Amino acid sequence: MDKRIIEQYKKSFDELCHHDENVEYWYAREIREPLGYERWENFNKAISRAIIAWFGQPRSC
């Protein structure tokens, strides 16, 4: 991937980042569009699949 594109993505996510007591976090509804999802419903499905995948795998942490 082109370095300029990566820098643009980083800038977009840095601008959307929230901070609370030394913790960084993002709201799903705010990062939906930069990730290429036009509709919340489609993004929500992707999040649900990621959660299922995460909890279905063995963890070392």
Query: Is residue 9 within 8 Å of 23, Cβ to Cβ?
Result: no
**pLDDT band for position 1 (cuts 50, 70, 90):** confident
Query: Is residue 37 within 8 Å of 46, Cβ to Cβ?
Result: yes
Contacts of 30 (CB under 8 A, 6+ apart): 16
Q: Is the pTM above the cut of 0.85?
A: no
H helices of the chain, where?
3-16, 28-31, 40-55
Question: How many residues in total does the chain contain?
Answer: 61
Interatomic CA distance for residues 29 and 22, integer angstroms: 22
Could you report the per-residue pLDDT of 2-61, keeping only the tens digit for each?
999 999 989 999 999 999 999 999 999 999 999 999 999 999 999 999 989 988 876 665
